[in-house]
Amino acid sequence: MSPRREKLTSPQTRIALARGNRPAQHLLPIPGPVDTEAARKLFHAQRRTAVRTVALLTVLLFGVSGAFAAFPVLGHVRLGGVPLSWLLLAAGIYPLLFGLALWHVRSAERVERRAAREAPRRDEDPGRKR
Amino acid sequence: MTSVLAIGLVLVTSLVIGVYGVRAARSTSDFLVASRRVSPNWNALAIAGEYLSAASVLGLSGLLLKNGLGTMWYAVGFAAGYVAVVALVAGPMRRSGAFTVPDFAEYRLGAPRLRKLCGLVVLVIMLLYLVPQFKGAGVVLSLVSGTPYWVGVLLAGVVVSGSIAAGGMRSATYVQAFHYVVKLAFIAVPAIYLVVHAGPETRAEALNPEWGTHFPEATPVEFTVDTDFSLDEPVTVTTPSGDGVELSAGEHTVGQGTEYVFPEGATIPHPDGLPELGSERWSTPLLDVGGYPLFETWSTLLAITFGCMGLPHVIMRFHTSPTARTARRVAVGVIALLGLFYLFPMVYGLLGRVLTPQLVLLQGTDTVAVVLPAQAVPGSVGTVLTALVAAGAFGAFLSTSSGLLLALAGGLSHDLFQGSVPRLRLAVVVGAGVAVLLALPAQMIDINVLVVWAFTVAASTFCPLLVLGIWWRRLTLAGAASGLAVGAVTATGAVGWSILFTTPAGWVTVLLAQPAAWTIPLAFGTMMAVSGLTRPPDWAEHAVLRLHSP
CA-atom Rg of chain B in angstroms: 24
Select the highest-mean-pLDDT range: B146-150, B269-273, B486-490.
B486-490
Å from A17 to nearest chain B CA?
7
Q: Closest Cα to residue B118, out of B133, B103, B137, B99?
A: B103
pLDDT number for residue A38: 85
Return mean pLDDT, chain B.
Answer: 83
How far, in Å, CA of B443 to CA of B141, rounded? 13
DSSP state of B265: T
Neighbours of B405 (CB within 10 A): 27
A102: containing domain: 33-122
Name which of A47-56, A119-128, B371-380 the model is least confident about: A119-128
Residue A129 counted as domain residue: no
Q: What is this structure's pTM?
A: 0.87
Decide if B546 touches A, using CB distance below 8 A: yes
Alpha helices in B208-323 (DSSP H): 280-283, 293-308, 312-315
Q: Give the contacts of B346 (CB within 8 A, at least 6 positions apart).
A: A86, A90, B60, B61, B64, B72
Do B315 and B331 meet the contact criterion of CB atoms below 8 Å apart?
no
DSSP state of A10: -
Cβ neighbours of B93 in A, within 8 Å? none
> Regarding predicted confidence, which is higher, B412 or B354?
B354
pLDDT in tens, B432-446: 899 999 988 888 888
pLDDT in tens, B6-39: 878 877 777 676 666 555 444 333 333 344 556 7
Residue A127 counted as domain residue: no
Select the highest-mean-pLDDT range: A61-75, B16-30, B41-55, B453-467.
B453-467
Q: Give the contacts of B208 (CB within 8 A, at least 6 positions apart).
A: none
Do B351 and B368 meet the contact criterion of CB atoms below 8 Å apart?
no
How far, in Å, CA of A9 to CA of B44, rounded? 22
**CB-based contact B286 A65, cutoff 8 Å:** yes
Name which of A58-67, B101-110, B471-480 the model is least confident about: B101-110
Nearest CB among A20, A61, A98 relative to B301 is that of A61
Whole-number percent of chain B with pLDDT over 70:
91
pLDDT number for residue B362: 78
For A94, the closest chain B residue by CA position comes to B339
Residue A96 counted as domain residue: yes
Q: Closest Cα to residue B315, out of B50, B24, B11, B5?
A: B50
Residue A30, pLDDT above cutoff 80: no
Pairing of the two strands B270-271 and B259-262: unpaired
Element (H, E) at B236: strand B235-238
Å from A40 to nearest chain B CA?
7
Cβ neighbours of A59 in B, within 8 Å? none
**CB-based contact A86 B285, cutoff 8 Å:** yes
**CB-based contact A75 B331, cutoff 8 Å:** no
**CB-based contact A85 B82, cutoff 8 Å:** no
Assigned fold of B2-23+39-207+278-548: Sodium/glucose cotransporter (1.20.1730)
Best of A1, A73, A105 to substitute, by most chain B Cβ atoms within 10 angstroms, is A105
Å from A126 to nearest chain B CA?
18
Interface of B with A in 115-134 (CB under 8 A): 115
> What is the ipTM for the molecules in this complex?
0.88
Best of A52, A84, A87, A94 to substitute, by most chain B Cβ atoms within 10 angstroms, is A94
How far, in Å, CA of A100 to CA of A119, rounded? 29
Do B22 and B153 meet the contact criterion of CB atoms below 8 Å apart?
no
The stretch A7-32 carries a mean pLDDT of 55
pLDDT number for residue B1: 66
DSSP state of B214: B
pLDDT in tens, B414-438: 666 665 556 667 778 888 899 999 9
Neighbours of B210 (CB within 10 A): 11
Å from B463 to nearest chain A CA?
14
Band of residue B319 on the pLDDT scale cut at 50, 70, 90: confident
Residue B350: phi and psi, rounded to 5, are -70, -45
Helix (H, G, I), strand (E, B) or coil at B277: coil
Residue B323: phi and psi, rounded to 5, are -135, 165
Residue A42 counted as domain residue: yes
Neighbours of A30 (CB within 10 A): 18
User: Where along chain B do its domains lie?
Assistant: 2-23+39-207+278-548, 214-267
**CB-based contact B549 A39, cutoff 8 Å:** yes
Amino acid identity, residue B502? T
> Regarding predicted confidence, which is higher, A30 or B187?
B187
Å from B84 to nearest chain A CA?
7
pLDDT in tens, B502-522: 777 778 888 888 899 999 999
Could you give the number of structural domains in chain A? 1
**CB-based contact A13 B99, cutoff 8 Å:** yes
